[in-house]
Amino acid sequence: MSKIKSARTLREPAQLVTRGFVPAVDLPDLEKVAARYAVAVTADLAALIDPRDPDDPIARQFIPSAEELVTQRNEDGDPIGDHTHSPVAGIVHRYPDRVLLKPVQVCAAYCRFCYRREKVGRARGLARAQLEDALDYIRMHPEIWEVILSGGDPLVLSPRRLAAIMRALDAIGHVRVVRVHTRLPVLAPGRITSALVRALKTSGKATYVALHANHARELSAKARAACARLIDAGIPMLSQTVLLRGLNDDADTLGELMRALVECRIKPYYLHHADFAPGTGHWRTGIAEGQALMRSLRGRLSGLCQPTYVLDIPGGAGKSPIGPNYLVSIGDANGAPQYEVEDFNGRRHAYPPATSAHRKKDALTVAKSSRC
């Protein structure tokens, strides 16, 4: 499997100092970070960074920080328990009807909050025999309806290798959906070529691409054009976002991202609560903060802009929605359950409405009088 190879990709902390992205005094700490976690900043990302802005949202996501050297309580190298559900190399089978297939362990650039940061960038991915074993696993499990290509970033594969995987999946009758998770349209939009788009299309499966984006600044004109190439070819797109402290944990910033995604014809899918990956404690918010943010988006933004706020349960139990609850049981009345439901303004309403019987009687009276 191929790695991203480009002289223009910044991979060494010293290169980041030369570009003015980090001060020279930080170099010793950043070299310690780079010795443990992969570092790469593509030319397209570097062009988006304003080195004069200490809070630049692109730099914060991809430029390493000494804070990554601090491991907090409960942090784990496999925070969502992938290993527990990996029957063969490259497969994670956590849910009955779908599996992750991870053909590569490299990315074009490396997020500083990645929950697979202990794995990615250190190995190339599956050898040919391992990939065939992973595909055999899928073939032998007819309950698998969806295959999710992940990694690493599967779109760093050459179109030829990607097409070979898609053809193999296309030949498995019980697989009906292939979902591809990627950041490449943001990290290196020029690599979303017509050849790569053709490689993703199959004759008998529904193919979806899920874009990982955390800030509206990532959706440059080039990134939007790359996404349009996929969508115009008939490949629907979804999005995933990680809730990150100081980056997108306010309603205006998060709302701007969700609207920008929808304007690009990308449906917001998941808002992930940050995982307990090592060295990422400075990124995590509280769950109550995330729920408050979701409340603020409800009503003020279109339903198209609403992702599902989810938590990957540590240890491997899977994702659970953890958004705010708008419905509260308040008991029974005449044997029927009664509720209070909250609207987007925070007002509570009885359900069924206490006056429903009277409203029906009044409507009947009006109807009769109108016929007289």
Any catalytic annotation for residue 128? no
Q: Which of 36, 139, 176, 319 is catalytic?
A: 319
Any catalytic annotation for residue 275? yes
Class of domain 83-321: alpha beta
Any catalytic annotation for residue 98? yes
The pLDDT value recorded for residue 2 is: 42
Q: Which of 107, 227, 264, 305 is catalytic?
A: 107
Any catalytic annotation for residue 114? yes
Any catalytic annotation for residue 78? no
| Dist. CA 359–CA 336, nearest whole Å | 18
Sheet with 336-342, edge to edge strand ranges: 327-333, 336-342, 348-351
In this predicted model, what pLDDT tens digit does every residue of 88-135 receive, in sequence order? 999 999 999 999 999 999 999 999 999 999 999 977 899 999 999 999
φ/ψ (deg, to 5) at 232: -65, -20
Tokens of 193: 């070529």
* Segments of the chain scoring below 70 in pLDDT: 1-7, 355-372
| Dist. CA 174–CA 89, nearest whole Å | 21
Q: Which of 95, 326, 339, 351 is catalytic?
A: 95
The pLDDT value recorded for residue 327 is: 93
Any catalytic annotation for residue 312? yes
The pLDDT value recorded for residue 335 is: 83
- Say what angle helices 251-263 and 287-297 make with each other, to 10 degrees: 60
Q: Which of 60, 94, 112, 179 is catalytic?
A: 94
In this predicted model, what pLDDT tens digit does every residue of 253-289 receive, in sequence order? 999 999 999 999 999 999 999 999 999 999 999 999 9
**Cβ neighbours for 123, distance < 8 A, ≥ 6 positions apart:** 105
The pLDDT value recorded for residue 123 is: 76
Q: Give whole-number Cα distances, 55 to 19, 24, 172, 306, in Å.
A: 16, 18, 47, 26
Q: Which of 3, 98, 176, 229 is catalytic?
A: 98
* Residue spans per domain, the chain: 83-321, 327-371
Any catalytic annotation for residue 227? no
Q: Which of 275, 284, 305, 309 is catalytic?
A: 275
Number of C-beta neighbours around residue 359 at 10 A: 10
Query: pTM to 2 decimals?
Result: 0.91
Q: Which of 116, 117, 217, 284 is catalytic?
A: 116
The pLDDT value recorded for residue 360 is: 55
Q: Give whole-number Cα distances, 267 to 135, 182, 198, 303, 361, in Å.
A: 29, 15, 22, 10, 43
The pLDDT value recorded for residue 333 is: 84
The pLDDT value recorded for residue 47 is: 96
Strand partners, 115: none
Any catalytic annotation for residue 107? yes
The pLDDT value recorded for residue 334 is: 82
Any catalytic annotation for residue 305? no
